[in-house]
Structure 1
Amino acid sequence: MRQQPEQQAPPVQRLRIRYAKRGRLRFTSHRDFSRAFERAVARAGVPVAYSSGFNPHPRISYAGAAPTGAASEAEYVELALREPVDPGSTREALSAAMPSGLDLVEVVDAANTMPGALAELLQASSWLIDLPASYERAQAAVAAFLEATEVPVDRMTKKGLRTFDARSAVVRLAAGSRVPGSRLELILRHGTPAVRPDDVVTGLERTGGLEVGVEYGGLPLLTRLAQGPFDDATGLIGDPLAAR
């Protein structure tokens, strides 16, 4: 008879963590970050809880990760602990163990934040998209995109090539000028399938003739500014780590 695995005690505390991907670390994949974060947890001596079963793993939950190549000021992870800790001291210890460019912004006790699973609180996100295209070209492409009732785009997923509507997820899209090129301000509502900012850029190419790519001066630079609960009445994105 195979011996039954040891059952782990339930977590006594959960920490919710906001972190940023900056500089060259924007090219860090979600898998790379998870490995770096788990190593930092071990080096910092954080008493992380483990799952039960024959292959216990640390109880770390990642939510709403930005695509590889995108910078972000609002990435989130939840950490379940077997012993209570001080969030401020834990942030300092983890920050010292993390590579520069993967920066911890905030660490809070989940019991003091909004109720509900962290993933359920991440209902929308805001983005900046820097383009080499001129403001006039970007503005024209945005106008054509917003006038369309549907903008189908294709993306390769784990389940193969998927086609979905990029227009339905866009709450706000506006073009502004920058030197050089232009900048888009975008608010996306999260859903299934998830529409990413690069999908919106693809839609702008198809509906508005926006020219994007190395041959046109460079690739779009994506930066997530915020993600969290969305207020339909005001069109604003809230803070998922806000106090109750």
Structure 2
Amino acid sequence: MARSQPPQQPPPVQKLRLQHVKRGTARFASHRDFGRALERALRRAGVPMAYSSGFSPHPRISYAGAAPTGTSSEAEYVELGLSERCDPQKVCDALNRALPAGFDIVKIVEADGRRLPELLQASWWTIELPGVDQQIFVQLADSLRNADRIDVSRMTKKGERRFDVRPGLVKVWTSQSGLELIIRHSEPLVRPDDVVAALRLLAPQLLSEIDAPRATRRAQGPLIGDRVSDPLEQGGPRPAPGARTA
């Protein structure tokens, strides 16, 4: 006997987009870890979630541009589909009371007609280099800017993959703690550890004293020139303030 199809769930009546951070020890949490924590928080906060149709309905949560495990971030984005209209600020407050430390919600807005994944075109990353003298930062930034091609290897589920990281680097400058980079979200996606691998190839003598590098995503959103703007800005993105190049 054929299995009857379950009833179709109604579409969301409201979509909210939230920006959250990943700070402290939360940087070691994986994307799945955060997903489980968010679903628990939504239940505890009593947020009226819309659900998908099918034999295994799940809450309508869309993730985009998640930071790699082990990195901190000030700009992670999630979209929620709700079955009832809610005040975004009340949802923000309720989730912050229910989420684990390090996963604070910093902003919630009602979604407009733009697709969230299409808005996340680039990221601004800080790569801290403990043990490296500040005077060397400028040399490292120059080595990245002046290289025509930088091939690095990364292990994937399908084995080792070799690719050029240079096309993904939009802008490189220095700060007191290390290097600042605007990285375009291209295919393959260039990650902070790929940039560190490139630096080890370009300037091995300069990184002989390097300790464990630490990466933090400062912003993520539309790429306007060489700057990353706010994807939750209503009425279209505006350039975010950027630092002076080295």
* TM-score computed with the length of structure 2 as normaliser: 0.90
How far does residue 159 in structure 1 lie from its aligned partner after superposition?
A: 2.8
1:206 aligned residue: 201
Give the fraction of aligned pairs with identical amino acids, expressed as a percent: 52
How far does residue 211 in structure 1 lie from its aligned partner after superposition?
A: 5.8
CA change 1:191–1:21 in 2 (3 A) is same
**Superposition RMSD on alpha carbons, in Å?**
1.5
**Partners in 2 of 1:243 and 1:177 — Cα distance?**
33
Q: Secondary structure at the match of 1:173?
A: strand
Q: Does 1:185 align with 2:180?
A: yes
Aligned positions of 1:148-227 closer than 5 A: 148-178=147-177, 183-209=178-204, 216-227=209-220
Aligned residues: 233
2:122 aligned residue: 124
**Partners in 2 of 1:84 and 1:140 — Cα distance?**
53
CA change 1:13–1:136 in 2 (3 A) is same
Say if 2:144 and 2:172, in contact at 8 Å, map to a contact too: no
Q: Does 1:238 align with 2:232?
A: no
How far does residue 210 in structure 1 lie from its aligned partner after superposition?
A: 5.9
**Partners in 1 of 2:205 and 2:119 — Cα distance?**
33
Say if 2:182 and 2:227, in contact at 8 Å, map to a contact too: no
Say if 2:71 and 2:215, in contact at 8 Å, map to a contact too: yes
Q: Secondary structure at the match of 1:102?
A: coil
Unaligned runs of 5+ in 1: none
CA change 1:87–1:231 in 2 (3 A) is same
Aligned positions of 1:1-244 closer than 5 A: 1-111=2-112, 115-132=113-130, 133-178=132-177, 183-209=178-204, 216-232=209-225, 235-244=226-235
Task: Give a deviation string over 1:110-129, Cα, whole Å, max 9, x none.
Answer: 13xxx421011000110111
**Partners in 2 of 1:46 and 1:176 — Cα distance?**
41
Unaligned runs of 5+ in 2: 236-246
Say if 1:142 and 1:208, in contact at 8 Å, map to a contact too: no
* TM-score computed with the length of structure 1 as normaliser: 0.91
Q: Secondary structure at the match of 2:143?
A: helix
